[in-house]
């Protein structure tokens, strides 16, 4: 401090101001202007859009590459901006790639920044946000045996995922290498249209395997939302992607040792659920979209669907019931009649892992003719997928409540929470429960058209079919206490609210056992 | 003029064909109904346009991924 006591007169303070300005300038005005022209936010604008205003506290503002003297001056933040901020008043840790600094490539210094954010998030119980846009490892730092030895593998937990706190990822530009890995081990991955997530760049693909391919085809939003399921949702802009990350985190606790946050709920939240029955056709062969049913059942506007374009015979969505987070798993008869295929099984398994790891009660809405069968299903490893899903469901320790709307058969009955695979099962009076569809059952048991009956007009066939149909009605399973409740559609929301209260994890303060916490990060 | 191909999402049997070549359809309209797993599963137009060609007949078995209808948009 100077003799006058004014800190700014110390030469160190001038230096501070200058160095800070340089760090905040990122990769320079030319690169920033080029980005702006394409309508894409830069790293610091993304931080502002993500966080509550004025809450960002940077960690490592003065970090820079130390691998060689010339990089020291032109690598502000070393290309990855880290720090803490608040989302809806709650602390989070974040790492945001700054592509304008050497393509946000990975180095020893910025690796330390990522390590610090992950460590603090995990040990102190903060959600972690990772915004990816990186070209991969920095060259030449990582080249050669010396580079590999110096740079890689010194943190054996670098890609370890044990789900102590929720991680949300945004793929907001080109992501190759570590930014792709982090996107894939996050609990929710949002991709902005036009961004790309792939193992390696199109250029390297062309060099290494001679494949000419463009970004979109290699790792664009359509691929990852429809074919791979590695992205949970796609947005049109950076701003929407960041809003989606905020929304996702609003359903989740800050860490695995607390219950999810509770939101106030507006009066009249139950009004739409009183007309639930109107949304489901009574005729057993008619299809319908289950999503309006979920929308009417949950608190108004609270549904947040994950992987909507992938494994579509199933719907997985976070939502709220009287302000409390629940995870909805539903068959969607609109797609494949609600018959679960291999992708739908994978999607549900991944959702079970999310909900179980973060103490989110599950609500299953059941209306399925079974699993998709046939050669295509077998080639897609349906048996493995079905039992993986079943195993996950049986390991879940959060409350599980299931409601059978119309039909449920065979193994799908168990996978969708039938019997003791839910804590409580309710069925609508229209529910139909059996080992298989009565039309098939009558043919399997009685030999079908070539067997005992001449054709399906045969009165004996008709009688057998009618018997099978009657045997599948809800009353026999209710008599056997195989379902605990038979409820009318309009009673569904009040029943669910009450059951969520009955089955609240009181003994552990709303916290489950997390037996899926180290299950795979994709399927 | 782009040609859009509508494929079957499931293995089953063509139960009903709901449109004729030359018809104008909007995105989400039902083109064909496939019977599979004892359910009537609609095949929806994946974009608006004119029906150019219907590649299947009623009662014909179809497999997952099979082309059913060509639209011109």
Please tell me which of A8-17, A233-242, A262-271, A453-462 the model is most confident about, judged by mean pLDDT: A233-242
Whether residues B37 and A369 touch (CB distance < 8 A) is answered with yes
Give the number of other CB atoms < 10 A from CB of residue A161. Answer: 18
- Whether residue A151 is contained in a domain is answered as yes
pLDDT surpassing 50 at residue A1 = no
**A456 lies in which domain range?**
436-472
Residues of chain A with Cβ-Cβ distance to B37 below 8 Å are: 336-337, 339, 369-370, 372, 437
Q: Which helix (H) or strand (E) holds A53?
A: none
pLDDT surpassing 70 at residue A8 = no
| CA A166 vs CA A16, A88, A517: distances in Å | 35, 15, 11
Check if the beta carbon of residue A87 is closer than 8 Å to that of residue A51.
Answer: yes
Residues of chain B with Cβ-Cβ distance to A338 below 8 Å are: 39
Q: Name the residue in chain A with its Cα closest to that of B37.
A: A369
Q: What is the pLDDT of residue A77?
A: 94
Q: What is the pLDDT of residue A52?
A: 98
Q: How far apart are CA A272 and CA A32, in angstroms?
A: 48
Instruction: Based on the fold, state whether residues A374 and A479 are members of the same structural domain.
Output: yes
Instruction: Based on the fold, state whether residues A346 and A424 are members of the same structural domain.
Output: yes
- Whether residue A413 is contained in a domain is answered as yes
pLDDT surpassing 50 at residue A433 = yes
A337-373 confidence digits (pLDDT tens): 999 999 999 999 999 999 999 999 999 999 999 999 8
Average pLDDT over residues B2-20: 93
Q: Radius of gyration of chain B from Cα atoms?
A: 11
Instruction: Based on the fold, state whether residues A159 and A169 are members of the same structural domain.
Output: yes
Residues of chain A with Cβ-Cβ distance to B10 below 8 Å are: 336-337, 339, 372
This complex has an ipTM of 0.82
Give the residue from A282, A309, A374 with the most B CB atoms within 10 Å of its CB, the best one to mutate: A374
Please tell me which of A11-25, A208-222, A473-487 the model is most confident about, judged by mean pLDDT: A473-487
Residues of chain B with Cβ-Cβ distance to A286 below 8 Å are: 40
Q: How far apart are CA A500 and CA A244, in angstroms?
A: 26
Instruction: Based on the fold, state whether residues A418 and A460 are members of the same structural domain.
Output: no
A15-66 confidence digits (pLDDT tens): 999 999 999 999 999 999 999 999 999 999 999 999 999 999 999 999 999 9
pLDDT band of A270, cuts 50, 70, 90: very high
Strands B3-7 and B67-72 come out as antiparallel
Q: A-B interface: how many C-beta pairs under 8 angstroms?
A: 46
Number of compact structural domains in chain A: 3
pLDDT surpassing 90 at residue A86 = yes
Whether residues B38 and A287 touch (CB distance < 8 A) is answered with no
pLDDT band of A235, cuts 50, 70, 90: very high
- Whether residue A61 is contained in a domain is answered as yes
Q: How far apart are CA A394 and CA A416, in angstroms?
A: 11
Instruction: Based on the fold, state whether residues A457 and A492 are members of the same structural domain.
Output: no
Q: Name the residue in chain A with its Cα closest to that of B10.
A: A336
A177-216 confidence digits (pLDDT tens): 999 999 999 999 999 999 999 998 888 888 888 888 889 9
Q: What is the pLDDT of residue B37?
A: 86
- Whether residue A240 is contained in a domain is answered as yes
B30 reaches A (C-beta below 8 A): no
Instruction: Based on the fold, state whether residues A222 and A186 are members of the same structural domain.
Output: yes
pLDDT band of B44, cuts 50, 70, 90: very high
A157-186 confidence digits (pLDDT tens): 899 999 999 999 999 999 999 999 999 999
Instruction: Based on the fold, state whether residues A99 and A155 are members of the same structural domain.
Output: yes
Q: What is the pLDDT of residue A454?
A: 63
Whether residues A287 and B10 touch (CB distance < 8 A) is answered with no
Average pLDDT over residues A133-150: 86
Instruction: Based on the fold, state whether residues A92 and A131 are members of the same structural domain.
Output: yes
Instruction: Based on the fold, state whether residues A235 and A334 are members of the same structural domain.
Output: no
Give the number of other CB atoms < 10 A from CB of residue A217. Answer: 14
Instruction: Based on the fold, state whether residues A480 and A442 are members of the same structural domain.
Output: no
For chain A, percent of residues with pLDDT exceeding 70:
97
Residues of chain A with Cβ-Cβ distance to B36 below 8 Å are: 336-337, 339
Average pLDDT over residues A462-474: 86
Residues of chain A with Cβ-Cβ distance to B42 below 8 Å are: 287, 334
Instruction: Based on the fold, state whether residues A177 and A312 are members of the same structural domain.
Output: no
B39 reaches A (C-beta below 8 A): yes
CATH of the domain at A416: 3.90.226.10
For chain A, percent of residues with pLDDT exceeding 90:
78
- Whether residue A256 is contained in a domain is answered as no
pLDDT surpassing 80 at residue B1 = no
Domains and CATH numbers, chain B: 3-72 (2.40.50.100)
A274-299 confidence digits (pLDDT tens): 999 999 998 888 999 999 999 999 99
Give the tokens for residue A12: 């160190």
- Whether residue A56 is contained in a domain is answered as yes
Instruction: Based on the fold, state whether residues A315 and A400 are members of the same structural domain.
Output: yes
- Whether residue A517 is contained in a domain is answered as no
Q: What is the pLDDT of residue A238?
A: 97
- Whether residue A514 is contained in a domain is answered as no
């Amino acid at each position: 401090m100077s003799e006058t006591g004014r800190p700014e007169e110390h030469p160190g303070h001038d230096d501070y101001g200058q160095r800070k300005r340089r760090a905040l300038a990122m990769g320079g005005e030319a690169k920033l202007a080029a980005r702006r022209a394409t309508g894409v936010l830069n790293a610091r604008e993304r931080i502002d859009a993500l966080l509550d205003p004025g809450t960002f506290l940077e960690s490592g503002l003065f970090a820079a590459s130390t691998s060689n003297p010339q990089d020291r001056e032109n690598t502000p933040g070393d290309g990855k901006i880290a720090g803490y901020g608040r989302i809806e008043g709650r602390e989070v840790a974040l790492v945001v790639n700054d592509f304008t600094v050497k393509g946000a490539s990975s180095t020893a210094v910025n690796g330390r920044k990522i390590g610090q954010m992950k460590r603090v998030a995990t040990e102190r119980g903060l959600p972690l946000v990772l915004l990816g846009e990186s070209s991969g490892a920095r060259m030449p730092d990582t080249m050669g045996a010396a580079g590999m030895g110096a740079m890689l593998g010194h943190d054996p937990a670098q890609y370890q995922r044990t789900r102590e706190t929720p991680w949300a990822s945004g793929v907001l530009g080109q992501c190759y290498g570590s930014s792709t890995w982090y996107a894939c081990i996050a609990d929710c991955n949002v991709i902005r249209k036009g961004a790309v997530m792939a193992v390696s760049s199109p250029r390297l693909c062309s060099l290494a395997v001679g494949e000419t391919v463009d970004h979109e085809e290699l790792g664009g939003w359509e691929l990852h939302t429809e074919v791979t399921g590695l992205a949970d949702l796609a947005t049109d802009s950076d701003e929407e992607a960041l809003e989606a990350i905020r929304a996702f985190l609003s359903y989740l606790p800050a860490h695995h040792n607390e219950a999810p946050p509770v939101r106030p709920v507006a009066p009249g939240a139950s009004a739409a659920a009183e007309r639930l029955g109107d949304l489901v056709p009574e005729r057993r062969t008619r299809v319908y979209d289950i999503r309006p049913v979920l929308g009417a059942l949950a608190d108004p506007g609270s549904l947040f669907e994950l992987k909507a374009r992938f494994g579509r015979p199933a719907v997985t969505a976070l939502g709220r019931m009287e302000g409390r987070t629940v995870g909805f798993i539903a068959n969607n008869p609109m797609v494949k009649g609600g018959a679960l295929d291999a992708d739908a099984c994978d999607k549900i398994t991944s959702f079970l892992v999310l909900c179980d790891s973060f103490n989110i009660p599950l609500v299953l809405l059941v209306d399925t003719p079974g699993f998709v069968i046939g050669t295509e299903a077998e080639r897609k490893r349906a048996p493995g997928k079905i039992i993986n899903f079943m195993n996950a469901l049986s390991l879940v320790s959060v409350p599980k409540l299931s409601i059978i709307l119309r039909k449920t058969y065979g193994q799908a009955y168990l996978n969708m929470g039938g019997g003791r695979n839910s804590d409580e099962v309710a069925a609508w009076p229209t529910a139909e429960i059996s080992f298989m569809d009565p039309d098939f059952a009558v043919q399997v048991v009685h030999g079908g058209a070539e067997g005992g009956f001449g054709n399906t007009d045969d009165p004996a066939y008709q009688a057998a079919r009618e018997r099978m149909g009657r045997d599948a009605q809800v009353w026999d399973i209710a008599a056997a206490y195989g379902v605990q409740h038979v409820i009318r559609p309009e009673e569904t929301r009040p029943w669910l609210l009450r059951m969520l209260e009955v089955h609240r994890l009181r003994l552990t303060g709303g916290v489950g056992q997390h037996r899926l916490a180290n299950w795979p990060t994709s399927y | 003029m782009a040609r859009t191909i509508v494929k079957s999402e499931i293995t089953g049997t063509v139960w009903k064909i709901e449109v004729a070549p030359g018809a104008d359809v909007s995105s989400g309209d039902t083109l064909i109904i496939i019977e599979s797993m004892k359910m009537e599963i609609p095949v929806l137009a994946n974009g608006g346009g004119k029906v150019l060609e219907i590649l299947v007949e009623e009662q014909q078995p179809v497999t997952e991924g099979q082309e059913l209808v060509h639209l011109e948009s």
